[in-house]
Amino acid sequence: NAGVMQNPRHLVRRRGQEARLRCSPMKGHSHVYWYRQLPEEGLKFMVYLQKENIIDESGMPKERFSAEFPKEGPSILRIQQVVRGDSAAYFCASSPRSLGRGIYGYTFGSGTRLTVV
Amino acid sequence: TQLLEQSPQFLSIQEGENLTVYCNSSSVFSSLQWYRQEPGEGPVLLVTVVTGGEVKKLKRLTFQFGDARKDSSLHITAAQPGDTGLYLCAGEVNDMRFGAGTRLTVKP
């Protein structure tokens, strides 16, 4: 997990505030994926990004959620006007390529645990 | 409904016992992976299987990919408390999709 850096590890926000979650992929990886995990559940796909491009955002709510992966800097998952239901662990993963990436596997970060109070 | 169904959802056993957990789907996957996740951490890749019928061994863990590449199993021999964790399977179709996991507890 040390290769993918996520911060902060824990984030507390009041309802209506904005949450920004950051992810720096493993060195040499240009593909970033965000997943959400609720307690006692598996990982739900949210969005897949390459540098400056959103490839697949089919798992992301249409409102309040957005993601970017700029040319320079980390990938950002942004949640506007947070509600209690947004409380979850958000994981970022990276891979070195898209085609056949299942063969290489994903490297996950340690996650950001968002609590909305 | 989940693309990948994992069973059992929870499993609690004594140290030294053997166990098998399953990952099933109606979809065909180009590859399938198993991860283990410990509390407070992200999933860690254990193995990737690619070929139908493939069997891979990782110490006391044996992974099998079904002939039709729709399902997989994980067998652990002589389980140890250190094996405790959430075991997730993930299948690659157009993207990686995860099952809900099997939560394994191995009691000393």
Q: Tokens 């739900």 label which residue?
A: A44
A40 in reach of chain B (CB within 8 A)? yes
pLDDT surpassing 70 at residue B1: no
pLDDT band at A1 (very low <50, low <70, confident <90, very high): very low
The pLDDT value recorded for residue A29 is 86
The larger pLDDT score, comparing residue A2 to residue A79, is at A79
* pLDDT tens figures, B70-102: 999 999 999 999 999 999 999 887 678 899 999
Please state, rounded to an integer, the average pLDDT across all residues of chain A: 91
Q: Do B30 and A102 touch (CB under 8 A)?
A: yes
Is A7 within 8 Å of A113 (Cβ atoms)? no
Mutation test of the interface with chain A: which of B35, B37, B96, choosing the one with the most A Cβ atoms within 10 A? B96
Residue A35's beta-bridge partner residues?
A: A45, A91
- Gap between the Cα atoms of B81 and B107, Å rounded: 6
Q: Among residues of chain A, what percentage have pLDDT more than 70?
A: 92
Distance (Å) from the alpha carbon of A38 to chain B's nearest alpha carbon? 10
Largest CA distance in chain A: 41
**DSSP readout, A18-82?**
-EEEEEEPPTT--EEEEEEE-TT--EEEEEEEETTEEEE-TTS-SSSEEEE--SSS-EEEEE-S-
* pLDDT tens figures, A47-102: 999 988 999 999 999 999 999 999 889 999 999 999 999 999 999 999 887 655 55
A25 in reach of chain B (CB within 8 A)? no
**CA A18, A71, A9, B4 torsion-angle sign:** positive
Residue A3's beta-bridge partner residues?
A: none
* pLDDT tens figures, A78-90: 999 999 999 999 9
Residues of B with CB under 8 A from a CB of A: 2, 6, 29-33, 35, 40-45, 48, 50, 88, 90-92, 94-101, 103
